[in-house]
Amino acid sequence: MLKLRCKSKGGTQTVLGLTACSTLCELQTQLTQLTGIDSYRQRIKLGFPPTGLDLRDPSQTLQKLHINSGDTLIVEDDPSVAAQETNGPVHKILKRRVVPADNSCLFTSIGYVTDCDGGEVNPTRSRDLRGIIAKAVAADCDLYSEALLGKPNKEYCRWIMREDAWGGAIELSILSSHFNREICVADTQSLRIDRFGEGSGYKHRVLLIYDGIHYDPLELETDPGKPPQTTFSTCDDMVLILAQELAQEAHQRRQYTDLGRFTLRCLACQRGLTGQREAQQHAQETGHVNFGEV
């Protein structure tokens, strides 16, 4: 663990729980809690004479920023942001839009953020997105082999079209390519942001939040009477900071499911199961796919 202190107008405080591999986003979230200065308003200085840190990439590690144990971070409220706020609000609220927990939450969420029509959730788009995935998988049997999919290519294509089939990393990667957008997923358990399509040159990104078993889309409030914003520039890393802050808040409220420990009951045969691995094995052995969390 790094031993760090932060100095602001409120005094000097200790920053706990960070390592050299922690991200700038994680650091700024802690600094917000300690100083009351929102991440987007922070100006952070380090060293002697104090030099401002480059805050443009919230995913960079503290090691890359040359932050070491024993350092004192000077945290200031950026006056340039305050000046902008006098001419109109610059900081809007990133919110979770809850979608139905019906095994199609990933597809409903992607449908919402890629085609936000008046801010309405449209679960019927899920089947279209499942079809996009099945077509992409069927078209490349070498890439989408049984080793990658966990089942034969043709069997997977039939499976993903079922309404009770869950989506995950493979499906997110395919949909990122289909929509030419980076898909960023904030995990409320690990506090990690997984970026599908990162480095592909996409100009836009969309955001989801994931609690271990359920996906919801994230949206930014806009002016009254206008639909929320769900598509952002890949140059706008501020939304990643806001997404990680949402994940941090959910984590503190324990709004996540540990897939290795959570308990389920098969709704077909009433057998009790523990963790994702047992559930997957039971499904393969019996064909039962409907589970309820205990």
HEC assignment per residue over the chain: CCCEEEEECCEEEEECCCCCCCEHHHHHHHHHHHHCCCHHHEEEEECCCCEECCCCCCCCECCCCCCCCCCEEEEEECHHHHHHHCCCCCCCCEEECCCCCCCCHHHHHHHHHHCCCCCCCCHHHHHHHHHHHHHHHHCCCCCCCHHHHCCCHHHHHHHHCCCCCCCCHHHHHHHHHHHCCEEEEEECCCCCEEEECCCCCCCEEEEEEECCCCEEEEEECCCCCCCCECCEECCCCHHHHHHHHHHHHHHHCCCCCCCCCCEEEECCCCCEEEHHHHHHHHHHHHCCCCEEEC
Q: Tell me whether residue 102 is one of the annotated catalytic residues.
A: yes
Helices 238-252/24-35 angle, 10° precision: 70
Q: Tell me whether residue 105 is one of the annotated catalytic residues.
A: yes
Catalytic residue among 184, 211, 214, 282: 214
Q: Which two tokens stand for residue 204?
A: 């836009």
Q: Tell me whether residue 223 is one of the annotated catalytic residues.
A: no
Catalytic residue among 54, 102, 164, 258: 102
Give Cβ neighbours of residue 287 (< 8 Å, ≥ 6 apart). none
> Please, are residues 224 and 43 in contact by the beta-carbon 8 Å criterion?
no
Cα angle at 129 between 250 and 140, to 5 degrees? 115
Q: Tell me whether residue 288 is one of the annotated catalytic residues.
A: yes
Would you call the peptide bond into 49 cis, given omega within 30 degrees of 0 as the criterion? yes
Catalytic residue among 6, 105, 116, 266: 105
Query: Which amino acids are annotated catalytic?
Result: 102, 105, 214, 288
